[in-house]
Structure 1
Amino acid sequence: MIQRALIKKQRIIISILVALIIMTITIGLGIGYSSLSYDRLIPTFLGQGTFKEEFVLFSIRLPRIIITLLAGMALALSGAILQGITRNDLAEPGILGINSGAGVAVALFFLFFPIQSGSFIYLLPLVAFIGALLTAFLIYIFSYDKNTGLQPVRLVLTGVGLAMAFSGIMIVLISSAERSKVDFIAKWIAGNIWGSDWTFILAIIPWLAVLIPFTLYRANRLNILNLSEPVAVGVGISIEKERIVLLLTAVALAAAAVSVTGGIVFIGLLAPHIARALVGPRHQLFLPIAILLGGWLLLVADTIGRNIVEPEGIPAGIVVSLIGAPYFVYLLLKK
């Protein structure tokens, strides 16, 4: 049974994070290359703004902010699931190469499969999922030992190796592609929020609407998988079946996110770790916090990145990496 004090603490932290998200969204709506004064935000929301104000708010700023928030949530939850099923604190879809696998699939689809723009957007998450799934399958095969099960250290090493291999494939694809398509792939690799349109939101929302509640429902299974394998078997669950189901969930979440944001790393590492430090290791407690934290972290990174250098800005993936890379090194030294 979870202590009431911890539940109360969780609710307070969730309230703070919601307030921080709303504050960051408000700041993000008002600043940028085409500025929109804060006293005009509410009138513009109510339909009393000029054409320029409504265009900046509803066609440029708001869809990008919502996409960034949703993608951050998906990446954070994906990282939390991977850390739970592998019992490895360094597991994260970007570090393990799952994002890179999804990126290669998206790049191949973009370069060699001419599709109408309307259906292209909705197919992207599915294509990314197929690429990420194949990558996860390879990682699982190479990290599994029939006598001792899944090897956490081998898992990270295999993932890093595959990520490097996929980076090489990306370079080969770039070298043989048209200039306009090269720009897209380069932005994807850097972690640029490129899917900043309402259509992309409609493409990603169904994935999150199903997978987030499903993961929260299976939170107790993640708690059990964190225990030793004999204990988990004694409780009466099928370890491999649960791992595969949750692995598919983590892969789908990561694929849906990177299909619209590019190769963003470390959100899935930072958010679950911070959430666990705040309320402890029970998934029922820290998963909701990790989800909100991931969305807020990516939102802050994108808000900072797109306003440092105008008009293009710095990709959110680079800003996140500047924070996440030192933390990753710290965890390596600590563990």
Structure 2
Amino acid sequence: MISPLLLKKQRMILCALLALIMLTIVIGMGLGYSSVSFDRILPTLLGQGTFKEEFVLFSVRLPRIIITLLAGMALALSGAIFQGITRNDLADPGILGINSGAGVAITIFFLFFPISSGTFIYILPLVAFLGALLTACLIYVLSYNKSQGLSPIRLVLIGVGCSMALSGLMVVLISSAERTKVDFIAKWLAGSIWGTDWPFILAILPWLIVLIPFTLYKANRLNLLSLSDPVAIGVGLNIKKERIVLLITAVALAASAVSVTGGVAFIGLMAPHIAKALVGPRNQLFMPIAILLGGWLLLVADTIGRNLADPDGIPAGIMVAFIGAPYFIYLLMKNEK
């Protein structure tokens, strides 16, 4: 039974986050290389803007804002799932190498399998998913011990090692590629929001529409998986089956996000932790908050980054890392005590 006070607190936080997201969206629409006056945003959205205002908002700003928001949500939920099934507070798809696995698959596909741009957009999340899934399976197998089960610290160490190895492999793959293709992969590695057109939204949206409700439906099972294996088995939970299903879900969420945003890490680490600090560790309570928080964090990072330097700005992945890396070190030191 969830306390009514906690439910009320959750609703208030969700409303506050929605307000912050709307405020950040408005600020993001107005700021940029070609600025749009804030008093012209609403008339332009209602179809009363000039050609330039409509082009900047509908062809440049809004697609990027929506993509960033959706990707942040997916990464936050993916991190929450990874932390639940591994019982590891340091788990994050970027830190564990899942994003790098998706990146290698995208790199190979981009370099060696030429395909029309229209089809490429929709196949990309699937390619990223296959690469991320293979990486997740490898990390899981290497981290699992028959006598001790899944070792949280071993998981992080192997994940970090795989991430570095796969990033190195990407550099090797692009070392002899054409300049334009090298630029694309370099931007991906830096976490630059490159999928900034409406078709990319259509490519990522179906994954989120299916996977977010499915994960929220599985929230109670995640609560049980967060306990010890004997307790979960004692209440009748098939832990191996549930872990595999939720692992695939987390990988799919991360892959769909990084296929359009590049190698963004730490969102899946920070958002669940902040959400748990606000309403506690029960998944039904903190997951909706983590989803909105992840979207807002990435949106803020991208809005700040693209306005710090003209004309391309600083990649969102780098902006997130400025905050996320110290936070990761703090959690690592905290867990060792």
Short-chain TM bin: over 0.9
Distance 1:319 1:261 in 2: 13
Q: Report what 2:113 is aligned to.
A: 113
Distance 2:247 2:63 in 1: 29
Deviation at 1:148, TM superposition (A): 1.9
Distance 2:326 2:114 in 1: 40
Q: Report what 2:316 is aligned to.
A: 316
Q: Confirm or deny that 1:193 pairs with 2:193.
A: yes
Q: Report what 2:299 is aligned to.
A: 299
Moved over 4 A (4+): none
Q: Report what 2:22 is aligned to.
A: 22
TM-score (normalised: structure 2)? 0.99
Q: Report what 2:51 is aligned to.
A: 51
Any residues of structure 2 matched to 1:60-209 within 5 Å, and which? Answer: 60-209=60-209
Q: Report what 1:235 is aligned to.
A: 235
Distance 2:43 2:89 in 1: 46
Deviation at 1:68, TM superposition (A): 0.1
Distance 2:83 2:33 in 1: 39
Amino acid at match of 2:117: S
Distance 1:176 1:76 in 2: 35
Deviation at 1:191, TM superposition (A): 0.2
Distance 1:50 1:276 in 2: 45
Deviation at 1:167, TM superposition (A): 1.1
Distance 1:328 1:151 in 2: 18
The secondary structure found in structure 2 opposite 1:310 is coil
Deviation at 1:293, TM superposition (A): 0.1
Which stretches in structure 2 are left out of the alignment for 5+ residues? Answer: none
Q: Confirm or deny that 1:278 pairs with 2:278.
A: yes
Q: Report what 1:3 is aligned to.
A: 3
Which stretches in structure 1 are left out of the alignment for 5+ residues? Answer: none
Deviation at 1:171, TM superposition (A): 1.1
Segment drifting more, 44-53 vs 202-211: 44-53
Distance 2:154 2:239 in 1: 19
Distance 1:228 1:119 in 2: 45
Distance 1:251 1:301 in 2: 23
Q: Confirm or deny that 1:41 pairs with 2:46.
A: no
Deviation at 1:230, TM superposition (A): 0.6
Q: Report what 2:246 is aligned to.
A: 246
Q: Report what 1:215 is aligned to.
A: 215
The secondary structure found in structure 2 opposite 1:33 is coil
Deviation at 1:170, TM superposition (A): 1.0
Q: Report what 1:266 is aligned to.
A: 266
Distance 2:226 2:42 in 1: 47
Number of aligned residue pairs: 335
Deviation at 1:176, TM superposition (A): 1.2
Please list the CA deviations of residues 129-173 of structure 1 after superposition, one character each: whole Å capped at 9, or x if unmatched: 000000000001101111221111111111011001101101101
Distance 1:175 1:148 in 2: 41
TM-score (normalised: structure 1)? 1.00
Alignment root-mean-square deviation, CA: 0.5
Distance 1:83 1:283 in 2: 11
